[in-house]
Amino acid sequence: MRRGLLWLGAVLVLAALEPNLRGLIGAYNYQILVLVGVNIILAVSLNLINGFTGQFSIGHAGFYAVGAYTSAALVFYAGPSVRVLTASLPTVAQDAVLLLMGLLGAALVAGLAGLAVGIPSLRLRGDYLAIVTLGFGEIIRVLILNIDAIGGARGFAGIPQLSNFFWVYLFVLITIATVHNLVSSSYGRAFVSIRDDEIAAEAMGVDTTRFKVMSFVISSMFAGIAGGLFGHFTMYLHPNSFTFVASFYVIIMIVIGGLGSIEGAVLGAVVFTVGLEVFRGFGAFRLINFSVLLVLIMIYRPQGLLGSWTLIKRRKQAGAM
Amino acid sequence: MGILEIRDCTIRFGGLTAVKNLTMSLERGALYGLIGPNGAGKTTVFNLLTGVYHPNEGSIELDGKSIGRLRPSRIAQLGMSRTFQNIRLFKSMTVLENVKLARHLTRTQGVFDAIARTRRLREEEVKIEQDAMELLGIFKLDGRADELALNLPYGSQRRLEIARALATNPRVLLLDEPAAGMNTQESLELMRLIRSIRDRFGLTVLLVEHNMKVVMGVCERIQVIDYGETIALGSPKEIQDDPKVIEAYLGGA
Ligand SMILES: Nc1ncnc2c1ncn2[C@@H]1O[C@H](COP(=O)(O)OP(=O)(O)OP(=O)(O)O)[C@@H](O)[C@H]1O
Ligand SMILES: [Mg+2]
């Protein structure tokens, strides 16, 4: 009951902000804010597999791309007929239906891709996941380059604009709540046990392969949703936005904030996205700033800015919320 | 037939035969000792039983079910749990969380219960916490439930490992040198505790120990191995007087 009210309150606040925000902070800052939100979803979801489950995925951008293109294509091609079906609804509601349809498709296809990548590579020990996810990201990019129906090398233009501050931050909240609830349940304890000691986890009955795949698939689904939200905001997608460098950005975010901390991933996404904009004048050199920051963090705060510090104590929560 | 039956098991690591033609039979409810000098292959037997290694030859049956090829988590689900000689607690978890993790086998919550934090999940979490605290109470660790497991003193970490193994609801419990690092007084206390746990939970216990004195007082039946092979089997009294055992221990020490 209390939870329902909290969610209602959050939706109302976001909905009230949405129409006035652009005027209040300017179009440029509005755009950065939306981008920050998309990156929060990416960082918090990658943190589930890399931070909490202790596996090393470096292909998050691949799932992000799968989601972005799936949602864009779905809405672009099926959108007109859906609009006819929902013609009796007001435009806002039609947009919402379309966006949610796109995001659902994005989450499903990205999740299936996660399953296809995860099952073979997570059964093996060691760094297979890193290698396979890296390869997967590149394969997806090359695949997109060669599919004409979604723009190929020209890029996918004319994607309906459906997402905005409201939707992005609604999904930021959903992502955070999902990951938070998950890691404070039996499932979360299983994820963390795998990170801490895989042999002991197995001995306690944790089917480590199954839980790694589960964590990886959920993580991929949210990357897909982030992609959908991104494409329907920028209205244009290009395969070059989804190179391994994009995956690396998300890793930097969670390392800055602290692996295994939700608040850390959020902070990392904010610092990184804003930092990237502030240093835009440096051109390609701005990445050097982050390399320096990363090295400094590794030396002085290897646990990240927040480490395993958490705002909300996870343990005492059984009854609350 | 016993609850745990090992028949002619052999495992080799390269040129080294760590366990050779081992046969062992545990009656339901037994408190069985497996002893032998350093490097005799005791831990390797545990690793075979729990699926960390698979035997090159021979078979292992738990309650009539062949488990020699199963993965460790499956064997745990079938009701065999263990502690580790080189303590393997979950280092980022508290004492309580270590035990709660092991309760996950009995969970009924689905992943959507977890994500939506349904009533079912919240009630189950309360139950898990109660069960875990109760187990910690048995080992007098309930007062330190919220500390990081790694901050406990060595002896308490060993007791926590037993509590964690018990939390999986095993029928067979394997303890690898649970008294290591304890003095004689503490060891004897722990052995009494192990016996009372066996009675209370209706367990079958296989205990590895290389301190003969400790194991003599608590186990009803003892098997001695050396270089991976059985050299003696019998009651503590019989073992104590066996010249081969005396030689293995004196020669190996
Ligand atoms: N994975 C492995 N690879 C190679 N050799 C191994 C492996 N595991 C065990 N061994 C070898 O098998 C033999 C038996 O080792 P094990 O650890 O089972 O002895 P133990 O009886 O438990 O000894 P301790 O009393 O010191 O604990 C040793 O020679 C050990 O080096
Ligand atoms: Mg050993």
* Per-residue burial over B168-193, b = 16 or more CB atoms within 10 Å of its CB, e = otherwise: bbbbbbbbbbbbbebeeeebbebbeb
Q: Which of B92, B102, B107 sits opposite A192 (nearest CB)?
A: B92
Residue B192 placed within a domain: no
Same domain? For B180 and B241 the reply is yes
Same domain? For B96 and B71 the reply is no
Closest chain B residue to A207 measured between Cα atoms? B73
Which domain range does residue B149 map to?
91-167
CB contact under 8 A, B104 and A189: yes
Same domain? For B107 and B74 the reply is no
State whether the beta carbon of B43 lies less than 6 angstroms from ligand 1.
yes
| pLDDT tens digits for range A214-243 | 999 999 999 999 999 999 999 999 999 998
For chain A, give the mean pLDDT: 87
Interface of B with A in 136-165 (CB under 8 A): 146, 164-165
Same domain? For B62 and B105 the reply is no
Within 13 Å of residue A162, how many CA atoms lie on the same side as its CB?
Answer: 29
CB B111 within 8 A of CB B162: no
Tokens 């799968």 locate to A66
State whether the beta carbon of B36 lies less than 6 angstroms from ligand 1.
yes
| Chain A neighbors of B54, CB-CB under 8 A | none
Same domain? For B69 and B126 the reply is no
Interface of A with B in 86-105 (CB under 8 A): none
Residue B217 placed within a domain: yes
pLDDT score for A315: 39
Same domain? For B5 and B67 the reply is yes
In angstroms, the CA A189 to CA B90 distance is 10
Same domain? For B241 and B122 the reply is no
What does DSSP say about strands B4-13 and B204-209: parallel, antiparallel, or unpaired?
A: unpaired
Same domain? For B157 and B212 the reply is no
CB contact under 8 A, A189 and B97: yes
pLDDT score for A318: 33
CB contact under 8 A, A308 and B168: no
Angle, helices A208-234 vs A60-85, to 10°: value is 60
pLDDT at A313 over 60: no
Ion ligand 2 — residues with CB < 5 Å: B 42-43, 85
Q: Which of A182, A192, A208 sits opposite B90 (nearest CB)?
A: A192
Same domain? For B141 and B109 the reply is yes
Compute the nearest-CA separation of A184 from chain B (Å): 8
Confidence at A303, pLDDT banded by 50, 70, 90? low
Angle, helices A208-234 vs A2-47, to 10°: value is 100
pLDDT score for A287: 67
DSSP A249-314: HHHHHHHHH-TT-HHHHHHHHHHHHHHHHHTGGGGGGHHHHHHHHHHHHHHH-TT-SSTT--SS-S
CATH number where B246 lies: 3.40.50.300
Q: Residue ranges of chain B with pLDDT lower than 50?
A: 252-253
Q: Does ipTM come in above 0.90?
A: yes
Residue B193 placed within a domain: no
Shortest CA distance to B102 belongs to which of B141, B127, B130, B128? B128
In angstroms, the CA B209 to CA B180 distance is 8
Same domain? For B148 and B179 the reply is no
Structure token digits, residue B95:
């004492």
Non-local (6+) Cβ contacts of B137 within 8 A are: none
Same domain? For B61 and B25 the reply is yes
**Where would I find the H helices in chain B?**
42-49, 72-77, 95-102, 111-116, 119-138, 154-166, 184-201, 212-218, 236-241, 243-252
Ligand 1 centre distance from Cα of residue A122 (Å): 28
Same domain? For B175 and B67 the reply is yes
In angstroms, the CA B145 to CA A217 distance is 33
- The strand order across the sheet containing B16-26 reads B16-26, B4-13, B57-62, B65-66
Which has more pLDDT, A71 or A315?
A: A71
Confidence at A123, pLDDT banded by 50, 70, 90? confident
Residue B86 placed within a domain: no
| pTM value surpassing 0.80 | yes
Number of domains in chain B: 2
Domain ranges of chain A: 37-243
State whether the beta carbon of B46 lies less than 6 angstroms from ligand 1.
no
Compute the nearest-CA separation of A176 from chain B (Å): 10
| Amino acid (one-letter) located at A149 | A
Confidence at A311, pLDDT banded by 50, 70, 90? very low
Structure token digits, residue A54:
């202790």
